[in-house]
Chain A
Amino acid sequence: MAVSSSTSDLVRVSESVWEIPATARADMRVPARVFVDEEMLAEIAADPSLVQLQNVATLPGVVEAVLGMPDIHLGYGFPVGGVAATALPDGVVSPGGVGYDINCGVRLLALPLAANELGRRTEPLVHELSRAIPAGAGRHGALRLDDEEFERLLRLGPQLLVDEHGIGTAEDVERTESRGRLPGADPAAVSERARVRGSGQLGTLGSGNHFVELQRVDPILDGTTAAAFGLWEGQATVLIHSGSRGLGHQVCTDFVRRMDDVAARYGIVLPDRQLACAPLSSPEGQAYLAAMACAANFAWANRHAIAHSVREAIRSVLGNAAADGTRQVYDVAHNIAKIERHGGRELCVQRKGATRAFPAGSDEIPDLYRAVGQPVFIPGSMGTSSFVLAGEPGAMEHSFGTTCHGAGRRLSRTAARKRTTGADLRRRLAAQGIVVRCPSNSGLAEEAPFAYKDVEHVVAVVERAGLARRVAQLRPLGVVKG
């Protein structure tokens, strides 16, 4: 990794934007810009995430600036919370710029009842959610598709589950980013190994920071927009965080290696091998986009299947009316590359740990939300609030229609485990009235709230920067960890 005195090169552009000019390093093509305040800047300077952002600024075809969201932290190649846009046709696409968990993202379901109506049924509901949704690494889901169906799922995403298996509704698909289907998906670009890894994992949560959380809306921060999203004060909600599982992990693994082999052939010199990339117009770039689209569609189908299991758990504990009245608010991707128009140009926007946040008026947003902007969900750390935001015009002006994706880690997993145990954390969360189900105590400790930045601080920064506005806060009642 190239080393640079990144923080000493920072100049303040506005109240919430700092920039490392392109002149800071001979190999940078554009500035590296980060959305933070002074307090956050000190924390970010403690790890090399800004050096990683500068490395991203060296990619061929990158335009305007590479961006770091306020939840930026050290990743591999790209920092997590990093955004880069490259120009078609010959700008590059980097599989590491999307990440291994392709289309890791979040989906919010809104129940037709208030959280205080759950009463003593809160713990049984969390228990039923943990029973109904396979968690942990490699666990198999109940839904098995044959090879032909699996290929069509990779092309069609959740629409196939609605049309052919009666899972979920057409309304769910409509209320999903890109309607749950990226164009150009070609299963022929997905390796046999990736298919084997993903074939039994539809409807499974996975491990690490994936979760399903039962929540209460409290408080509403923007009444008009909350009403448009179908949210009201005190309402019970369920937030789902998962991704493309082993299939996406293997697609990324395959293409990082393939592009590592060919980057030099295209005259690409990289400061970090994990940034391996190829021109969008190249056979390797085209094949990656086709395989990544399959993985993205699989991830949307996975969260769709998990949402079905959530509804069935609600049916089991709360009855048919509660299950049938549970609506999907929206579903957003965190790790993805998409072809979008910005500033009159067609660009490949690569978001790694960042969320699309299109403002009111965008024809990419469902009609229902077009007057208020795209819903965005920002999960907090375990035991802390999450937020519902709406995209703002500033996102189109300053960040390729993008905002943050979460609280952002501030401590390593090892450091988190040194400070607490899973058992202790369970006790502390129970004392706050939060029910926890997690198959691994060490996994639980790694996700302790103090291992993350303050999510309220993160969303305050994106609001000040004009990227998104706060709509509602979601307080945890119970969590099922992967």
Chain B
Amino acid sequence: MTHRYVEHVGELELELESSSERGLFAEALTAFRELVDDAGVHGPPLRREIELPPEESALLLADWLGELIFLAETHAFVPRRVVALDLHGGGLRATVEGERGRPRHLVKAVTLEHLDVSQREGCWHGRLVLDV
């Protein structure tokens, strides 16, 4: 599983790659954590349940990050790892572990610009532009 930021003058463009669709979503959480984690004082571990209705894969990925943005902004939740993640019938159910922190440089939103999830040569690829 990997992620990298592509040059984008105005915003942040993120490329994700994984051997599985589930891994792609987990990698998106890792990338998000890197953006918001202030590496400061953290509280005890917390778990959050996330459930998303069915959507096309790319929009589901945007919704997944949208949930993480919401939790960080309104609950100061810094996600650490995916404990469980089930992609069923086009929807998503996940348990995410993290802690209450002071998330930094928060992402405002996930745009639809260049938004894509695809499977090529046995690998899952994701691409999205974050408004920062």
A and B held together in a complex: yes
CA distance A136 to B38 in the complex (A): 11
B103 CB, nearest partner CB in chain A, Å: 6
B70 and A412 form a contact (CB under 8 A)? no
Closest to B8 in A: A412
- Indicate with 1 or 0, residue by residue over A248-265, a CB within 8 angstroms of chain B CB atoms: 011011001100100000
The answer to whether residues A413 and B12 also contact, given A138-B72, A138-B106, A253-B110 and a CB cut-off of 8 A, is yes
Q: B15-72: which have CB < 8 Å to A?
A: 36, 38, 59, 66, 70, 72
Q: Does B113 contact A (CB under 8 A)?
A: yes
Q: A76-B129, A101-B108, A413-B12 are in contact. Are A137 and B113 (CB under 8 A)?
A: no
Given contacts A253-B66, A272-B113, A137 and B104 within 8 Å (CB-CB)? yes
Contact assessment for A74 and B8 in the assembled complex, using a CB-CB cutoff below 8 Å: yes
Check B86 for interface membership: any CB of A closer than 8 A: no
Tell me if B112 counts as interface (CB < 8 A to partner A).
yes
- B109 contacts A253, CB within 8 Å? yes
| Residue in A193, A250, A274, A440 whose beta carbon sits within 8 Å of that of B113 in the complex | A274
A100 touches B7 (CB 8 A): no
Query: Within the complex, what minimum Cβ distance (angstroms) separates B106 from chain A?
Result: 3
Given contacts A137-B106, A138-B103, A74 and B76 within 8 Å (CB-CB): no
What's the least CB distance linking B58 to chain A, in Å?
9
Within 8 A of B (CB), among A131-149: 136-138
For A138, what are the chain B residues with a Cβ–Cβ distance below 8 Å?
A: 72-74, 76, 103, 106
- A61 interface residue (CB < 8 Å to B): no
User: Is chain A's binding surface mostly helix, strand, loop or mixed?
Assistant: mixed
List the A side residues contacting B129 at CB < 8 Å: 76, 274
- The minimal Cβ–Cβ distance linking A365 to chain B, given in whole angstroms, is 31
Q: Quick check: is A411 within 8 A (CB to CB) of the other chain?
A: yes
- State how many angstroms separate the Cβ of A217 from the closest Cβ of chain B: 30
**Contact across chains for A76 and B72 when beta carbons are under 8 A apart:** no
CA distance A223 to B98 in the complex (A): 57
Complex CA distance for A138 and B104, rounded to whole angstroms: 9
Residues of the B chain whose Cβ atoms lie less than 8 Å from the Cβ of A137: 36, 72-73, 103-106
Q: How far is the CA of A80 from the CA of B113 in the complex (A)?
A: 14
Closest residue of chain A to B38 (Cβ to Cβ) is: A440
**Closest A residue, CB atoms, query B36:** A137
Total interface residues in chain A, CB < 8 Å: 44
Interface status of A47 (Cβ within 8 A of chain B): yes
User: Are A440 and B109 in touch, CB under 8 angstroms?
Assistant: no
Q: Does B93 contact A (CB under 8 A)?
A: no
**A256 to B110 alpha-carbon distance, docked (Å):** 10
Q: Cα distance A256–B131 when bound, in Å?
A: 13
For B8, what are the chain A residues with a Cβ–Cβ distance below 8 Å? 74, 412
From B7, B66, B105, B111, contact of A412 by CB (8 A): B7
A8 within 8 A of B: no
B7 touches A414 (CB 8 A): yes
Q: In the bound complex, do residue B10 and residue A136 qualify as a contact, i.e. CB atoms below 8 Å apart? A: no
- With A74-B10, A197-B74, A411-B9 as given contacts, are A136 and B113 in contact (CB-CB < 8 Å)? no
Query: Given B5, B10, B12, B112, which contacts A80 in the complex, CB threshold below 8 Å?
Result: B10
Kindly provide the distance from the CB of B99 to the nearest chain A CB, expressed in whole angstroms.
Answer: 15
Cα distance A70–B9 in the bound complex, in angstroms: 15
Q: Complex: how many Å from CA A442 to CA B129?
A: 19
Are A96 and B73 in contact, with the CB atoms below 8 A? no
Contacting residues, chain B, for A246 (C-beta < 8 A): 73-74, 108
Contacts of A1 in B (CB 8 A): 113-114
Q: Determine the distance from Cα of A172 to Cα of B115 in the docked complex, in whole angstroms.
A: 42
Known: A76-B11, A138-B74, A409-B10. A208 touches B132 (CB 8 A): yes
**B9 with A249: CB separation less than 8 A:** no
The CA-CA distance from A101 to B10 in the complex, in Å, is 13
Contact check: which of B74, B76, B104, B114 meets A439 at CB < 8 Å?
A: B104
Whether A76 touches B9, Cβ cut-off 8 Å, given contacts A100-B131, A138-B73, is no
B90, chain A: closest CB distance, angstroms: 15
Q: Which chain B residues (93-124) contact chain A, with CB distance < 8 Å? A: 102-106, 108-115
Residues of B within 8 A of A443 (CB): 104-105
Q: How far is the CB of A251 from chain B (nearest CB, A)?
A: 10
Q: How far is the CB of A73 from chain B (nearest CB, A)?
A: 5
B contact residues around A3 at 8 Å (CB): none
B113 and A273 contact, CB distance less than 8 A: yes
Instruction: Give bound CA distance, A272 to B114, whole Å.
Output: 8
How far is it, in angstroms, between the C-alpha of A414 and the C-alpha of B12 when the chains are bound? 8
CA of A1 to CA of B114, assembled, Å: 7
The distance in angstroms between the C-alpha atoms of A1 and B105, with both chains bound, is: 28
Q: How far is the CA of A412 from the CA of B12 in the complex (A)?
A: 8
Instruction: Give the chain B neighbours of A112 by CB distance below 8 A.
Output: none
A263–chain B nearest beta-carbon distance, Å: 11
Complex Cα distance, B10 from A49, in Å, reads 10
**A415 contacts partner chain B, Cβ-Cβ < 8 Å:** yes
Q: Which 9 pairs from chain A and chain B are nearest by CB?
A: A137-B106, A76-B113, A138-B73, A76-B111, A274-B113, A273-B112, A249-B108, A74-B9, A100-B109
Listed A/B pairs (7) with beta-carbon separation below 8 Å: A76-B113, A77-B112, A138-B73, A207-B106, A249-B108, A272-B113, A440-B104
Q: Which residues of B contact A (CB under 8 A)?
A: 5, 7-12, 36, 38, 59, 66, 70, 72-74, 76, 102-106, 108-115, 129, 131-132
With A76-B10, A273-B112 already in contact, 10 other A-B pairs whose C-beta atoms are closer than 8 Å: A1-B114, A73-B10, A75-B11, A137-B36, A138-B73, A193-B70, A196-B70, A409-B10, A412-B9, A440-B104
